[in-house]
Each structure stands twice: as C-alpha cells, then as structure tokens.
Amino acid sequence: MKNGLESKIYTMLKKAIINRDLAPGTKLSEETLAKTLNVSRTPIRSALQRLSYDMYVKIIPRKGAYVNQPTLTEVEDVFEMRILLEDYAVMKACQNYGKFKSTFENIEKIIRDEINAYKSQKLDDVLDKVFDIHIEIAKLSKNEILINQLRELISLTNIYLTFYSDMKLDNPTSPKEHLDILEAIKVNDVDLARKRMKHHINGIISRLNFEKIEQNYNDVEKILSKYN
C-alpha cells in the first residue's frame, strides 16, 4: 500500500511536469504536497527522490526539491554529445543490418506506435516511443557503453523537450524522419543515414524555446487539485 501511494504521487507529479503545469524552477515543498494530497511526508519524499533519479526534479540540500531547470550550457553540451554518439550508432547500424533484420521490424513497429501516440496527443507516450526507437538503433552497435551513454543522453533531451519544446503533436515530422533514417540504414547508405540522423537531431534542437517557459512560482495546491 505504501509503495502504491508513492507510485501514485510520483505519477501525478511527473504528469503535471510533462503537461507543463509545473514549470521549471517550481518549488515542490514536502509540507505543501503532504497537505495538498492529505498524506504524510514519507511517500512524498520517496516520490521526489524517484523524480530526482529520473532528472525531472532537482533536490538541493537544505533548500528542498524543485522542478529541474537545466541551463542553456547544459542543454548544448548534452545535444553535442548526442549528435556525436548517434552518428556512430547509425554507422554501426549500417554495418550490422544484415545480421539483425528482425530488429528493424521491431523499430518499424515502434514507429507505428509513435504515430498512434501523436494521434492520441500524449507527449509522455510520444517521448517514450522516441526513446525506444533511438535505443533500438543504438543496440545494433553491440557496444554496451554506447547504449548506456545514449540512454542517459536521450532521457535528458526528452526532459528538455518536456520543459522547453514547441513540439507540434498535431503535425509531427518525427515519425517520417525516423522512417527515413531506417531506410538509409537498410540500403547500407552510411553517409545518408548519418546526414538524416544529424538533420533529425538538429530539428529537435530547433524546437527548443527557452523563452517559452520562464521560472515562476506556480500555485502547486491549485495545480495538483486537478490531478488528485
């Protein structure tokens, strides 16, 4: 029951962050959350720790928990590394295509799921599918270090999209771009695959808008009342 309550609070807060109701920089006071949700601080603290592990929340010693607010430099550094590693990932994918054709069928299925997620207008589902597509491509490298690095980097960039993107859920370009990358890999066109992957990631960067959400101090009680 205790773990169930923690999971419920975790899901509620995560959804409020993904839906941009809780903006970057918003303070998440244990006392306020406990009062609003009519629970003790223990499950609140556990849920915040999970959100911190997932990088949605930043916990500052002696100050408390805040919705994560990455700096422009942090975002630029992460995307720079992602471009470098995904470039290598598609090169290895081209080399290994003949050995892992079943993996490509799975990626095509995930892209279809991505399209359905866009149709459902669910940003969290879209980002989950995007993560899966890129990790499946990375797995073709058979390089566990690369795969683990990309897991972290893609998780971070998905969070940046949650906070600062101008993603258009009603007119997405991502599924077609994913299919285009896959087609280049299938015909073993390394240069085209690399070009399309770089174009895809640069497109993600172009959708970031740091002026879209300014730091503010939202009425957490009012916001969570519609999730509770």
Report the alpha-carbon distance of residue 209 to residue 69 in Å, rounded.
13
Separation in Å, CA 116 to CA 109, 111, 129, 133, 161:
11, 9, 10, 14, 19
Among 7, 10, 21, which residue's Cα sits nearest to residue 224? 21
Among 124, 132, 136, 134, which residue's Cα sits nearest to residue 165? 124
The model carries a pTM of 0.82
Report the alpha-carbon distance of residue 31 to residue 37 in Å, rounded.
10
Report the alpha-carbon distance of residue 105 to residue 97 in Å, rounded.
11
Residue entry with tokens 């911190």: 52
Report the alpha-carbon distance of residue 35 to residue 64 in Å, rounded.
16
**How confident is the prediction along the chain (228 residues), in pLDDT tens digits per residue?**
457 899 999 999 998 888 888 888 899 999 999 999 999 999 999 999 999 998 899 999 999 999 998 888 999 999 999 999 999 999 999 988 777 677 788 999 999 999 999 999 888 899 999 999 999 999 988 899 999 999 999 999 988 888 888 667 777 899 999 999 999 998 999 999 999 999 999 999 988 887 755 545 568 877 877 776
Task: Name the H helices within the chain.
Answer: 2-18, 30-37, 41-53, 72-96, 101-119, 123-139, 144-164, 174-186, 190-206, 220-225
Sheet of strand 27-28: strand arrangement: 27-28, 64-67, 57-60
Q: CB under 8 Å to 93, separation ≥6 — which residues?
A: 137, 140, 141, 185, 193
CA dihedral defined by 61, 67, 73, 74, rounded to 10 degrees?
Answer: 80
Helix axis angle, 2-18 relative to 41-53, nearest 10°? 50
pLDDT at 226: 76
Asked whether 156 and 134 are in contact (CB, 8 A), the reply is: no
The structural domains of the chain, ordered by start, are 2-69 (1.10.10.10), 72-206 (1.20.120.530)
